[in-house]
Amino acid sequence: MKIAILGGDGFVGWPTCLHLSNAGHEVHIVDNLSRRWIDTELGVQSLTPMDSIQERCRIWKEVTGKSLRFHLLDLAKEYERLKQWFAEHRPDAVIHFAEQRAAPYSMKTDRHKVYTVDNNVGATHHVLAALVETGIDAHLVHLGTMGVYGYSSVGAPIPEGYLNVEIDTPTGKKGQEILYPTRPGSVYHMTKSLDQILFQFYAQNDGLRITDLHQGIVWGTHTDQTRLHPQLVNRFDYDGDYGTVLNRFLIQAAIGYPLTVHGTGGQTRAFIHIQDSVRCIELALKDAPKRGERVRIFNQMTETHRVRDLAEMVARLSGAKVAYLPNPRKEAEENDLIVKNDQFLALGLNPIRLEEGLLSEVVDVAKKFAHRIDRSRVPAVSAWTKELAAQVDRDPERKALRPAS
């Protein structure tokens, strides 16, 4: 297949490009490199040294003989160019990763909120409108988030996207299938909820074939292909805005930094290893919906864990200390989470479980590149409200974690 990978320079996008190119597909990366610019804005860098996207593609060709083509394009700002690109390249499938994906970044200031909504909703809508306008019958696979469901304890498993409800009508109860009600916990997660409505409309109105993958927190760093050469290494975010919880705990353990648990650590979240994430995308690609079918939604996660249990596990493994800090986010202190993921299991996914070997692999990567870590960028300082920001600022334990300036 000819596949356009939008956002193919990112943490999940890059290993997906390699995986699908390795499987024999013709892969085109479309990215505006905004994630690299955000690193510059925040004054941070990936833990792992990343080459330019052009150099990464050159190395892939050298190692495997396979081509990856890179196209610099801003999906949110360059609608006409995107349309032309689709008309010229006519991909069989489009995988859409190209959004601002950090909840803390989306909550930093009003400017960051506006950017995140404009970028994410703009990019998604432009892709949909351009597919309709160019008449390309490509399967669109979008990376959504488990966070659209929200994290209140409902006491029942979260279904894959849809909920059957009964509505009282004058002639009795009528059954209906609706999108599971969204309860996003950040501006970023809200954009993924908005994406869902856009998909529903374009599938229903224009017959677009769309799969939305509600993904949990991705952890780990290497996949089979990124291991092939040091310059194919994946990016690895550790900072307080882009680093995700388990990967953060693992680098913190590697550099002797106390594990930064927010609040009681009673938050339960869904997780998936990066290798499984790329496998799931391939499985979803092969199982395309037909024209006129409703949006296909998969829960792309393999296990759930409570944040404090993860911290204790990493502490046991590494001897790290655990720091319970005031939570900068407005989120439930404790929640249960049971998630259905039957569709991927039925398609043959054999999940990688969180286990010591893989955890140690990340700690080893972190130790190797520990000299690249700026400890002052480790604390999470973006707060969801001004009151939470003040609380976080007053906390003596957090102050103790800050390096002297």
Residue 12 is a binding residue for ligand NAD (CB under 6 A): yes
Q: Which two tokens stand for residue 74?
A: 């801003």
Stretch 300-359 residues interacting with ligand USQ (CB under 6 A): 307, 327, 329, 331
241 binds, among ligand NAD, ligand USQ, none (CB under 5 to 8 A by kind): none
Residue 76 is a binding residue for ligand USQ (CB under 6 A): no
x-or-dash pattern for ligand USQ, window 351-380, by CB under 6 A? -----------------------------x
Q: Which is nearer to ligand NAD, 123 or 380 (CB)?
A: 123
User: What is the distance, to the nearest Å, from the Cα of residue 349 to the centroid of all Cα atoms in its chain?
Assistant: 19
248 binds, among ligand NAD, ligand USQ, none (CB under 5 to 8 A by kind): ligand USQ
Residue 270 is a binding residue for ligand NAD (CB under 6 A): no
**CA-to-CA distance for 228 and 222, rounded, in angstroms?**
10
Stretch 196-235 residues interacting with ligand NAD (CB under 6 A): 215, 217-218
Residue 35 is a binding residue for ligand NAD (CB under 6 A): yes
Which residue has tokens 């949990």? 216
Residue 101 is a binding residue for ligand USQ (CB under 6 A): yes
Residue 240 is a binding residue for ligand NAD (CB under 6 A): no
x-or-dash pattern for ligand USQ, window 207-226, by CB under 6 A? ---------xx---------
- Is residue 367 within 8 Å of 254, Cβ to Cβ? yes
In the complex, residue closest to ligand USQ by CB: 147
Q: Which is nearer to ligand USQ, 128 or 190 (CB)?
A: 190
Q: Which is nearer to ligand USQ, 146 or 358 (CB)?
A: 146
Which of 47, 370, 100, 101 is closest to 218 using CA atoms?
A: 101
Shortest spacing between CB 87 and ligand USQ, in angstroms? 31
Shortest spacing between CB 75 and ligand USQ, in angstroms? 17
x-or-dash pattern for ligand NAD, window 130-169, by CB under 6 A? -------------x-x------------------------
Dihedrals phi, psi of 306, to nearest 5 degrees: -85, 140
